[in-house]
Amino acid sequence: MSKLTGIGKLSRERLAEVLRATKGTASVTQVADILEINNTEAAKILSRWHEKGWVSRVKRGLYVPVPLEASSVDVPLEDAWLIAEKLYAPCYIGGWSAAEYWDLTEQIFRTTIVMTRQVPRDRNPVIKGTRYLVCTVNEKKMFGFKSVWRGQVKVSVSDPTRTILDMLAEPHLGGGIRSVQDMLLNYLRSDMKNLELMIEYADRLGNGAVFKRLGFLLERNAPDEHDTIGKCTQLLTKGNTRIDPKLKAERLVSRWRLWIPENWLKESV
């Protein structure tokens, strides 16, 4: 465990200059530009600051400042979203992480979901104790998100409608279809509800399973949503889909071309 040690006057001045010019993270390139030095020297300076405990290394070439009150350089990330934006841009925060932000769930998820155009080697990185789930999104599907401020940095997060849509498309992004169903109900009860927009988004997304799952869940939980249920019926694609790929599904609801667990037929909501 690295401990904080003293720092000279010149280094202190340089560090202060870097912290003033950066927004939560500092890369080798940024430090080189700010201090007007080459990348090699910037990397050496950051390495020395790291050894002395004044910055903490997130990954090769990327550092975050260590809070003054910290007794060690081994500090957890203060903001997982900020690091995601730095590492995976263009990206947005989605799935259950976005659902938590929009108060669509009271569950606590310990992994941050990042939707990115990048194709990372590691889709489940653990960065300074923070777990991420990184999912690749086609450029044409990068829509339906809002910019929010995290300190001095703007980070994109899926809007409430896109959040529900992504979890209908990939139930594991919401912790499974039962959890997604609960979040959908919260969405329907909120002032964020916009089913016309959801149908528009779903059509743009081009994932036929969304209409099957959405139509079934609305008919099951909100049968008064006749217009949206009817649109889902009209937009059904061929082939049968599981309500959740990770659930054992023995019954086919032919109306929705959807395989569901046997006990779902006996449950009422």
Lowest mean pLDDT among 15-19, 111-115, 254-258: 15-19
- What is the model's pLDDT at position 74? 53
Q: Assess if residue 220 is contained within a domain.
A: yes
Q: How confident is the model at residue 71 (pLDDT cuts 50, 70, 90)?
A: very low
65, 94, 112 — which closes off a domain? 65
pLDDT band at 54 (very low <50, low <70, confident <90, very high): confident
**Domain match, 245 and 169 both:** yes
Mean pLDDT, residues 50-79 taken together: 71
Residues 94 and 196 both lie in one domain:
yes
**Domain membership flag for residue 137:** yes
Same domain assignment for residues 194 and 239: yes
Which pLDDT belongs to residue 17?
86
- Clarify whether residues 124 and 252 are in a common domain: yes
Q: Which among 96-100, 146-150, 248-252 has the top mean pLDDT?
A: 96-100
215 and 246 share one domain: yes
Identify the pLDDT of residue 20: 84
Tokens of 84: 């995601």
What mean pLDDT comes out for the span 92-121? 96
Predicted pLDDT of residue 76: 52
Give the number of domains in the chain.
Answer: 2
Residues 58 and 126 in one domain: no
What mean pLDDT comes out for the span 132-147?
96
Which own/partner pairs from 45-53 qualify as long-range (CB within 8 Å, at least 24 positions apart)?
A: 45/11, 45/14, 48/11, 49/7, 49/11, 49/15, 50/2, 51/2, 52/4, 52/5, 52/6, 52/7, 53/2, 53/3, 53/4, 53/5
Q: What is the CATH number of the domain that holds 17?
A: 1.10.10.10
| Residue 85 shares a structural domain with residue 164 | yes
Q: Does residue 218 share a domain with residue 249?
A: yes
Tell me, yes or no, whether 173 and 261 share the same domain. yes
Residues 6+ apart with CB under 8 A from 69: none
pLDDT tens track for 225-264: 999 999 999 999 999 999 999 999 999 999 999 999 988 8
Same domain, 109 and 231: yes
Domain assignment present for residue 3? The answer is: no
Looking at residue 5, its pLDDT comes to 56
Full residue range of the structural domain in which residue 155 is found: 80-265
Q: Is residue 226 domain-resident?
A: yes
Nearest to 157 by CA among 138, 142, 170, 172: 142
pLDDT the model gives residue 79? 85
Q: Is residue 72 part of a domain?
A: no
Whether residue 70 lies inside any domain: the answer is no
Same domain? For 122 and 238 the reply is: yes
What residues contact 235, with CB distance under 8 A and at least 6 apart? 199, 202, 203, 208, 211
Does residue 1 fall inside a structural domain? no
Is residue 61 located within the same domain as residue 117? no
In a domain, 186, yes or no: yes
Please give the pLDDT value at position 246.
Answer: 94
pLDDT at 69 over 50: no
Q: Which of 65, 89, 106 is the last residue of a domain?
A: 65
Residues 176-214: pLDDT tens digits?
999 999 999 999 999 999 999 999 999 999 999 999 999
φ and ψ at 113, to 5 degrees? -95, 125
Examine the pLDDT at 70 and tell me if it is beyond 50. Answer: no
Residues in the chain: 269
- Give the pLDDT of residue 233: 96
